[in-house]
C-alpha cells in the first residue's frame, strides 16, 4: 500500500487563482508492485517526472497551493481517464474503440514504461485495477477539483498549471533541423483548454526567464488538460513540460550540478505565474 494518494502543500494565505499540480513525480513504489514488475529499480522509474515536485516546492511561499501525487506513474497514470483500461493488461476488460494511448500501453494502469518496456509478466485482475483507481486516482482528482472550485469561489476563475518534465530526446523532431530546441513546451489543447490571454502570460513568464518556449508540439496536453480546461466557465488548464536535461542526468536519474540554479530560475517564473492569478478580478470584470 502507498502511504497516501497525494501530498497537498497549502500557502499560509491563498492570494491567487492559480493552482499548481504534479501528477507524475510520485515515487512511493509499493513493495507488492516492485515484487511483481519484471523491470529493475532503474527502468521502472524511467516514466517518472523525476524531481518536478522539488522544482516547484516553493509554490506555497507565493500564495498558491501545490498538489503532488504520491503514486508513481508506472503504477497509476493520473493523466489518463479512469475508464482508459487496457484489455491487453487487465483481465475482464473488453476491447473498446481505438484509443492510441491505450493501444501503446499507456492507459490509466500502464502496461509499459519509457521506450515501450513491459512492466509486468502476465495480466492484472480487474479488482486490482479498480483498487488503484478508487484509492489513488479518485482522491487525487477529487482534491484537484476542490482546489479549482476554491479558486473559482474566491477569485471568479481558476488557472491550473499542470507540471511535467519530458525526456530530452522527445524534442529531437521539434522545429526545423539546426534550430534550437525548446526548453519548455506549453500545452493547452491548441487553445481549447485555456484563454488566449492567459496562455500568452504563461508563455511570457517562461520566456522572460530566458527559456525557449514552444506551444502544443510535441505535447498538447492529455486527460488533465482536456478534462479541467473549461475557459468558457473561467477554468483554465495549461500543461508545462520541462526538458529534463535542464536539471537532471537522465542516465543516472539524479539531479545534476545545475539543479539548484535551475530551481532558482524557476522560482522567479513561479512568482510571475501566480501574478497572473492576482489579475483575476480585472479579467472577470472585463468579461
> For residue range 56-91, what is the model confidence (pLDDT) as tens digits?
999 999 999 999 999 999 999 999 999 999 999 999
> For residue range 160-213, what is the model confidence (pLDDT) as tens digits?
999 999 998 877 766 666 677 899 999 999 999 999 999 999 999 999 999 999
Q: Rounded to two decimals, what is the model's pTM?
A: 0.94
Q: Using CA atoms, how far apart are residues 103 and 85, in angstroms rounded to an integer?
A: 10
> For residue range 31-46, what is the model confidence (pLDDT) as tens digits?
999 999 999 989 999 9
Q: Is the dihedral of CA 171, 276, 261, 69 positive or negative?
A: negative
Helix residue ranges per DSSP H, the chain: 31-36, 52-55, 100-103, 126-132, 138-155, 196-207, 223-228, 259-278, 280-286
Question: What are the C-alpha distances in Å from 43 to residues 78, 113, 118, 119, 158?
Answer: 20, 8, 10, 9, 37
**Residue with the three cell numbers 506555497:** 60
Q: What is the SS3 assignment for 164?
A: strand
Q: From 102, 83, 92, 103, select the one nearest 125 (Cα to Cα).
A: 92
Angle, CA of 15, 223 and 67, to the nearest 5°: 35
Amino acid at each position: 500500500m502507498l502511504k497516501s494518494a497525494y501530498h497537498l502543500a497549502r500557502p499560509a494565505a491563498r492570494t491567487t487563482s492559480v493552482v499548481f499540480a504534479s501528477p507524475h513525480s510520485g515515487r512511493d513504489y509499493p513493495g507488492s508492485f516492485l515484487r511483481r514488475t519484471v523491470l529493475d529499480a532503474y527502468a521502472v522509474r524511467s516514466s517518472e517526472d523525476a524531481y518536478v515536485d522539488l522544482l516547484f516546492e516553493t509554490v506555497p511561499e507565493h500564495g498558491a497551493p501545490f498538489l503532488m501525487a504520491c503514486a508513481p506513474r508506472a503504477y497509476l497514470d493520473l493523466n489518463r481517464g479512469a475508464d482508459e483500461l487496457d484489455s491487453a493488461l487487465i483481465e475482464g476488460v473488453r476491447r473498446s474503440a481505438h484509443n492510441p494511448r491505450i493501444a501503446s500501453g499507456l492507459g490509466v494502469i500502464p502496461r509499459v514504461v519509457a521506450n515501450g518496456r513491459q512492466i509486468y509478466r502476465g495480466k492484472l485482475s480487474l479488482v486490482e485495477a479498480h483498487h488503484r483507481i478508487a484509492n489513488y486516482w479518485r482522491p487525487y482528482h477529487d482534491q484537484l477539483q476542490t482546489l479549482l472550485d476554491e479558486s473559482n469561489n474566491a477569485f471568479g476563475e481558476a488557472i491550473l498549471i499542470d507540471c511535467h518534465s519530458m525526456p530530452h530526446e522527445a524534442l529531437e523532431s521539434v522545429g526545423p533541423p539546426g534550430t534550437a530546441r525548446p526548453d519548455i513546451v506549453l500545452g493547452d489543447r491548441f487553445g481549447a483548454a485555456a484563454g488566449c490571454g492567459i496562455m500568452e502570460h504563461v508563455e511570457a513568464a517562461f520566456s522572460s526567464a530566458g527559456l525557449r518556449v514552444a506551444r502544443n508540439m510535441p505535447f498538447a496536453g492529455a486527460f488533465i488538460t482536456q478534462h479541467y480546461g473549461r475557459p468558457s466557465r473561467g477554468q483554465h488548464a495549461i500543461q508545462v513540460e520541462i526538458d529534463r536535461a535542464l536539471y537532471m542526468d537522465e542516465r543516472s536519474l539524479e539531479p545534476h550540478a545545475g539543479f539548484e540554479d535551475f530551481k532558482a530560475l524557476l522560482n522567479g517564473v513561479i512568482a510571475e505565474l501566480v501574478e497572473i492569478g492576482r489579475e483575476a478580478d480585472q479579467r472577470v470584470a472585463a468579461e
